[in-house]
Structure 1
Amino acid sequence: MRSARARAAGSAVLSLVVVSVLSSCATSNTRGGAGGTGLFGGGSSASVSYISSLQGGIVSRSGIQLSRGDYNKALEAEYRALETAPGGQAVTWSGSAKGEVVANAPYQVGNQNCRQYSHTITDNGREAKVRGAACRNADGTWTPLT
């Protein structure tokens, strides 16, 4: 039987591991704030691959037809919410339509960090809210769970 001291030490180690794993899924936003060019603005094929790995994101399931520009802003907001936003903090975007993406706290599936998230889209007075989940790959891209 383990002593109370050994159990406490084991709990402390487990807590440090959990904090370490959860903090490793958040990265700094090196692409600038809302005033920057965004992931699509620079034309970087690496940036486009991060967005394309979302496979249309959950915005594509909203039933709202967005312009290409609004669709790109919506996908970028989904990526930013998954990659950098603290759990529960909204990432907003706007154009001729507008939206808000909120990712929940990260959780582990196997060796991947995953997050559930929601996306509320408003266009011409019509609102749609869709929910989904995605897991972060070793290369930094996010793949939606189906």
Structure 2
Amino acid sequence: MAYSVSSLVKFGIIACLSVVVAGCTGTGNVRPLSFAPVSTPKIAGPKFAGSDSILASLNGGILPQDAAGSLTGPDRLRSLEAEYQALEKAPLGQVIAWKSQSSGAAGEVSAGTPYQVGQQNCRQYTHTATIRGLPVKGQGAACRNSDGSWTPLS
């Protein structure tokens, strides 16, 4: 009987170690940071993810200013909203698209894997667009502020 209890204990220990070791190994994928939803005040007019101040903190976005400056006000807001949504919520590889309702301008924003700089969550991102029939592209990085806004890095 002592022999079978000893074998049972050894088997139990081996089984527990196997479970622990299996939990320590993985696919090798890095888990990106996740961001909690931001509750923001509602604004009048079209539905945007954030308030004017949250979109304003993007400092005009990362599209070249000469191209972005030719967008109408609503189209400019659509492009900034796409940047905000990509930075705030989009998983790696997901594209956030926007399209003008009047001028034919359109664009797509994609953000990279979140990372930390000090205590701030940051992401690199790319914004490609067609404005007045010409392709434009902006690339940069932004860090999330405590109020839920994002500020591009210079």
Q: Given the two structures, how large is their TM-score scaled by the length of structure 1? A: 0.71
The count of aligned residue pairs is 121
SS in 2 for 1:88: coil
Contact 2:120/2:144 (8 A) holds in 1? yes
Q: 2:94 and 2:40 mapped to 1: Cα distance? A: 18
Contact 1:28/1:84 (8 A) holds in 2? no
In structure 2, the gaps of 5 or more residues are: 1-16, 25-29
Contact 1:62/1:130 (8 A) holds in 2? no
Q: Whose helix proportion is higher, 1 or 2?
A: 1
Contact 2:54/2:148 (8 A) holds in 1? yes
User: Which has the higher Rg, Structure 1 or Structure 2?
Assistant: 2
Aligned residue for 1:39?
48
Where do residues 32-71 of structure 1 align in structure 2 (5 Å cutoff)?
37-39=46-48, 47-59=51-63, 61=64, 63-64=66-67, 65-71=70-76
Contact 2:38/2:148 (8 A) holds in 1? no
Which of 124, 128, 136 is the aligned partner of 2:144? 136
Where do residues 86-105 of structure 1 align in structure 2 (5 Å cutoff)?
86-95=91-100, 96=103, 97-105=105-113
Q: 2:138 and 2:94 mapped to 1: Cα distance? A: 16
Contact 1:62/1:129 (8 A) holds in 2? no
SS in 1 for 2:84: helix
Q: 1:99 and 1:127 mapped to 2: Cα distance? A: 9
Q: 2:92 and 2:38 mapped to 1: Cα distance? A: 15
Q: Given the two structures, how large is their TM-score scaled by the length of structure 2? A: 0.68
Q: Once the two structures are aligned, what percentage of the paired residues are identical?
A: 51
For residue 140 of structure 2, what is the amino acid of its counterpart? G
Aligned residue for 2:130?
122
**2:33 equivalent to 1:22:** yes
